[in-house]
Structures are given as C-alpha cells and as structure tokens.
Chain A
C-alpha cells in the first residue's frame, strides 16, 4: 500500500482538490496541515518552496494540479481514455485560471473595493466562461463534464463553485442550471458529504 502524505496549509485553497480526489476514491492518506505561521519551517524542504506537496512513499511531487492529476490517474478518476483524460485536464486548467482570478478579490481588505473587483471578475471572466461551460455540459449530455461518469474535473468545479456560492451567493451560478446540478450532485456524494462535514472549518 502506497503511503501518501499531502502537505499543505490548514486551508482548502489549492490543496482541496487533491483531498477531494482521495476522499472520493476512499484512499487513505495523511492530510498534513500546518498553520500559516509554521510555513517557514516547511518551505525549505519543498521542491520549489511552495505547497501543496504530495509525498508518495517519501518522494515529493509539487504543483496542485499535477498532484491532483497524479492521484486521479492512479485511482481511476481521470477519464476512460487519453482523449477524456485531456478533456479533464482542460477543465481543471480552466478552474486553475479562475482560482488565480480570485486572488485580488480575496486579498482586498476594503469591502467596497472588494465588491467592485468581484463584480468585474464575475462579469468579465466567470460569466463568459460559464456560458461556454453550459454549452459543453449540454453537448456532453451525461451530467458530467467528461464522458459518462465523474472525473476529477467535476470535483474541481465543485471545489471552486461551492465556496464561491457560499461566500458570494447562489447568483454566481444561477444562470448555469447544468453546472448547478453537477455541483449539487457532487456535494451529495456520501464520501464527499462526510468529508466536508468533518473537515476543519477554514476561511479559504
């Protein structure tokens, strides 16, 4: 049995997708979390001075999407063939860009300014993306982003849009009924539900 140690802040952030993949596939792992103040202690030991890092029997792997992709591929959540795997990669890359887009919002301390930046982000980036995404979901016709069954791409969209709606309201995905349904579906998967109910409560 391979030993996984996922090393990340005690946040969801860029570590959560890997955690969701492992919980969905019911794969045991060490969910190693540290507080922000402890980071300097661990930083030098990481491959590129960043987290998350996944240790696989002690061998380190860095970069959040690389980690989640590796776990998805090892545990049957990456797609049924090479084309599906690439489709899943594509969707997860879209989420990576959206996460990056939220950074100025999250770090803005002025509430009024934060609201402005959020509205701009939703209007110029999120909504156009969601319009295309709805078309893709309808075209695929299965309720899932890729192929006929769940992949890490679906978990990535859940992982991004669930906190977005919690924090900024349901209106974020109101015009995306297929995505809304998908996010709800993932939220109700027993192993995901159980993990979400018991995971540490964190702001991000």
Chain B
C-alpha cells in the first residue's frame, strides 16, 4: 500500500475531495493539515508554491487539487469502468472546478447581507443553469449515478461541493429543480465511510 501524505490547510476547500475519496475507499493516509500562519514554512517545499499537494511514498509530489483527486480515484477504482466513463467523470469534476471558482467571492465575503446577495447571484447565473443540465443527464443515465452504473469520484465531487458550509447555510433551495441530484448527494452522504469521516473531521469555516 503506498504511503500517502496530503498537505493542505485545515479547511475543506480544495483538499476535501481527495480526503473524501480516500475515506470512501477505506485507504489510510496522513491527513496533514496546517494553519494559515504555518503556511510560509511549507510553501517553498511545494512544487508550485500551492496546496493541496499529495506526497506519495515520501518521495514523489503531485500538485493541483483535481489532478490529485483523479490520481487517487484511478488508483482506487473510483474513476469509471472504461476510458469513456473516465472522461465523463473528468468532465463533471471540471464543471465542479468551475463552480468552485464562481463560489470563491461569496465564500470570502464577511458581510452576511452582501454574502447572501453574492451567493444568490452565483446560484441564479451559474449554478441553476448548470444543475438543470446535470439533472437531465442524470435522469438519462438512469438516475442513480452521474457516470455509468456505479459511484465515481464525480458523484463525490458533487457531494463535496454541495455540502460546503456556505452551501449548507444558504443553499436550501438550490436543488428545487434537481431532485435526482439531491437524492444522489444524500446517498453519497449516507455511505458509512463518508458518514464516519464527516462526523469526526475538524469543524472548519470553509
């Protein structure tokens, strides 16, 4: 079994997808988290001065949140059953990457009134049109999973995005037009490995 060390801040953010993949797959790893003030000490050690970074067997480093998550998904059977399914999963996770980008400004806004305004705008302009399409594809795929007939990291990525603190606080109506996706996300959340991790992980603001 390779030795994994995942370096990231003590937040969910862009590290959480990899954590969820590893917990879902029951793969042990060193979930190395540091506080903001400790970041400068680690920054220079990282391949591109950014985190998350996955260190494998204490020697090789991999950067970029979705590259790390894809690598782990592929190593542990969560990437799809064939080349086409793998690409479908990649596609959905790329969509989530863009949605993360869109949610950055509301997430960092400290004024609660302004934050709700910003959130509602992102929801209306970006998330709702996207969910409309995803719901169509999900139903067409049989309603159970985004890709193929089994769980992939794409399902976990949607779960991770739609259960962030900001989404949990402000996103009550976000699935009003996407009931199947809502069900899928609940199913991921009810997985025993995910549930156990979520109950015991550090409580963080993002």
Q: Which residues of A contact B (CB under 8 A)?
A: 47-49, 56, 59, 61-63, 65-66, 69-70, 73-74, 82-83, 86-87, 89-90, 93-94, 100, 128-129, 132-133, 136
Task: Report yes or no: A128 in contact with B94, Cβ–Cβ below 8 A.
Answer: no
B90-131 contacts to A, CB under 8 A, are: 90-91, 94-95, 101, 129-130
A82–B70 Cα distance when bound, in Å, is: 11
Residues of A within 8 A of B60 (CB): 83
Interface presence of B187 (CB below 8 A): no
Chain B residues positioned under 8 Å from A100 (CB to CB): 101
* Residue contact B87 to A61, C-beta cutoff 8 Å: yes
Please, which residues of chain B bring their CB within 8 A of the CB of A86?
Answer: 62, 67, 70-71
Distance A47 CA – B63 CA, assembled complex (angstroms): 29
User: Can you report 15 residue pairs joining A to B where beta carbons are below 8 Å apart?
Assistant: A47-B91, A48-B133, A61-B88, A62-B95, A63-B94, A69-B90, A74-B83, A82-B74, A86-B70, A89-B71, A90-B47, A93-B64, A93-B66, A94-B48, A128-B49
Closest 9 CB pairs of A and B: A63-B94, A93-B64, A66-B90, A89-B67, A70-B87, A90-B67, A86-B71, A66-B91, A90-B64
Contacts of B63 in A (CB 8 A): 90, 94
State whether B133 touches A73 (Cβ < 8 A).
no
Please pick, from A48, A59, A132, the residue contacting B84 in the complex, using a CB distance under 8 A: A59
**Chain B residues, Cβ within 8 Å of A93:** 64, 66-67
Interface size on B, residues (CB 8 A): 27
Chain A, Cβ-Cβ closest to B88: A61
**Chain A interface main SS type:** helix
CA distance A49 to B131 in the complex (A): 11
Check A66 against B133 for contact (C-beta < 8 Å).
no
Residues from chain B with Cβ under 8 Å of A83 in the complex: 60
Q: Chain B residues near A47 (CB, 8 Å)?
A: 91, 133, 137
List B contacts of A87 (CB < 8 A).
Answer: 62
Q: Let me know if A63 and B49 touch, CB within 8 A.
A: no
Contact yes or no, B71 A82, CB < 8 A: yes
A132 touches B49 (CB 8 A): yes
Whether B71 contacts A61 by the Cβ 8 Å rule is: no
Q: In this complex, what residue of A is CB-closest to B60?
A: A83
Q: Contacts A49-B129, A66-B87, A66-B91 known; A132 to B48 CB distance under 8 Å? A: yes
Query: In the complex the two chains form, what is the Cα distance from A119 to B85 in whole Å?
Result: 41
